[in-house]
């Protein structure tokens, strides 16, 4: 797999090549009775062919909402895209009318959800649901669509696919249901696959199988893969590039090896340090204190400041932009350089 040393700057060999998917300064808000929740506040990232991009963040960080906005499946109202662009091979999807945009969904960009049991329709056989993709999008006959569905079930390694094509979702285990969702997502051979916490609800042995399957499919089809996760462990094995989100913004963006070796943002650092490690057994885990901010009332200055051990005066006043720290690495912290080099002391409070 090609290593991606570049962040949002195209790689030298790809200079001049339009990225597969480009999210630029995306803003999404939810207008609720309790006020306007600013869920996504200026997210930008790019994805190239054959690349795996991991988007990390806690619940409420805006990672899934960004994905929904890319797919165009945001619940609206209450959700509204209030600014920015989502470009697929240069075409801004947000500027398209609904019916033109539908042509991209499933065929160009496709998505897998966390909870396969609620994402699948319980009253139709799984084979019928997979085949629906071919009947609706490609106008195949019932018989041909069913044949294609069986092929797909085999591709996602469902044993005895031919016998199980008529079974209903509840007759499958969690891992098998996730495979069925993957089969539906790749049915139309999409260029971009978004996987929203695909293994969170699964056991660790099944999780390994599903990650392996996704990695194989991505390689075979040269897809761009956006992997949304809340756990640093799952993505370490497969991602090329990591985006860390917090409070609707990207806090850090870096190639995978760099970010685990030396984070350049206090939040990433906090996340990495809160993972239990063998050599720290018997000691207190280093937890990030406090809670994520309320999205209807994001604090002024840096969003992470109330929880940051290094916060200083400037962090109260100015919101740090996502800026390049070293070539290819970006961090939204006033002291990114110092955090990266470990050259900063926590402030006593």
Q: Does 219 contact another protein by CB under 8 A?
A: no
> Nearest approach, Cβ of 178 to another protein (angstroms)?
12
Q: Which stretch binds another protein (CB under 8 A): 76-84, 127-135, 162-170, 197-205?
A: 197-205
What does the H/E/C string look like for 73-103?
A: CCCCCCEEEEEEEEEECCEEHHHCCHHHHHC
Q: Does 123 contact another protein by CB under 8 A?
A: no
**Which tokens hold the place of 132?**
């629906």
Q: How many CB atoms lie within 10 A of CB 296?
A: 13
Q: Which of 12, 16, 77, 159 binds another protein (CB under 8 A)?
A: 159
Q: How far apart are CA 306 and CA 226, in angstroms?
A: 30
Q: Which of 9, 261, 314, 347 binds another protein (CB under 8 A)?
A: 261
Q: Does 239 contact another protein by CB under 8 A?
A: yes
- Among 263, 313, 267, 293, which Cα is nearest to 59's? 293
User: CA-based Rg of the chain, rounded to a whole angstrom?
Assistant: 21
* CB nearer to another protein: pick between 6 and 206: 206
How many residues sit close enough to another protein to count as binding (CB under 8 A)?
47
Q: Which stretch binds another protein (CB under 8 A): 14-22, 65-73, 108-116, 209-217?
A: 209-217
List the x/- string, 166-195, binding to another protein by CB under 8 A.
-------xxxx-------------------
Tokens 């091979």: give the residue: 89
- Among 227, 218, 217, 224, which Cα is nearest to 196's? 227
Map residue 292 onto helix, strand or coil: coil
* CB nearer to another protein: pick between 123 and 204: 204
> Nearest approach, Cβ of 284 to another protein (angstroms)?
5
Contact by Cβ (8 Å): 195, 226: yes
Q: Does 271 contact another protein by CB under 8 A?
A: yes
Region label for 137, one of left (φ > 0), alpha (ψ between -120 and 50) or beta (otherwise)? alpha
> Nearest approach, Cβ of 283 to another protein (angstroms)?
9
* CB nearer to another protein: pick between 176 and 184: 176
Q: How far apart are CA 293 and CA 300, in angstroms?
A: 11
Residues 285-344 that bind another protein (CB under 8 A): 285-289, 291-292
Q: Which DSSP string do the residues of 32-60 spell out, in sequence order?
A: ETTEEEEEEEEEEEEE-TT-EEEEE--TT
Q: Which of 260, 319, 326, 344 binds another protein (CB under 8 A)?
A: 260
Kind plus residue range of the DSSP H or E element containing 23: strand 21-32
Q: Does 277 contact another protein by CB under 8 A?
A: yes
Query: Would you tell me which residues interact with another protein (CB under 8 A)?
Result: 58-59, 159, 173-176, 203-209, 211-212, 230-234, 236-237, 239, 256-257, 260-261, 270-272, 274-278, 280-282, 284-289, 291-292
């Amino acid at each position: 797999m090609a290593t991606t040393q570049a962040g949002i700057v195209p790689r030298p060999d790809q200079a001049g090549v339009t990225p597969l998917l480009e999210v630029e300064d995306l803003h999404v808000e939810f207008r609720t009775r309790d006020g306007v929740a600013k869920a996504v506040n200026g997210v930008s990232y790019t994805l190239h062919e054959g690349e795996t991009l991991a988007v990390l963040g806690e619940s409420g960080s805006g990672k899934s909402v960004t994905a929904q906005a890319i797919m165009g499946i945001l619940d609206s109202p209450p959700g509204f895209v209030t600014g920015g662009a989502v470009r697929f091979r240069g075409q801004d999807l947000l500027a398209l009318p609904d019916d033109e945009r539908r042509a991209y969904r499933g065929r160009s960009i496709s998505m897998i959800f966390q909870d396969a049991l609620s994402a699948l329709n319980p009253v139709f056989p799984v084979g019928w649901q997979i085949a629906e993709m071919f009947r609706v999008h490609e106008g195949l006959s019932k018989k041909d669509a069913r044949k294609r569905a069986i092929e797909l079930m085999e591709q996602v390694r469902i044993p005895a696919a031919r016998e199980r094509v008529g079974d209903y979702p509840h007759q499958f285990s969690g891992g098998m249901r996730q495979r069925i969702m993957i089969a539906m997502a790749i049915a139309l051979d999409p260029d971009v696959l978004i996987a929203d916490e695909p293994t969170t609800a699964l056991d660790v042995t099944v999780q390994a199988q599903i990650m392996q399957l996704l990695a194989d499919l991505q390689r075979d089809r040269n897809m761009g893969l956006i992997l949304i996760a809340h756990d640093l462990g799952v993505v370490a094995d497969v991602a090329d590039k990591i985006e860390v989100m917090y409070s609707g913004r990207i806090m850090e963006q870096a190639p995978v090896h760099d970010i685990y070796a030396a984070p350049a943002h206090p939040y990433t650092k906090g996340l990495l340090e809160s993972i239990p490690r063998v050599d720290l057994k018997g000691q207190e885990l280093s937890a990030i204190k406090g809670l994520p901010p309320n999205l209807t009332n994001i604090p002024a200055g840096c969003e992470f400041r109330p929880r940051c051990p290094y916060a200083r005066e400037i962090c109260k006043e100015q919101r740090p932009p996502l800026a390049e720290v070293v070539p290819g690495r970006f961090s939204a912290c006033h002291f990114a350089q110092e955090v990266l080099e470990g050259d900063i002391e926590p402030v006593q409070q």
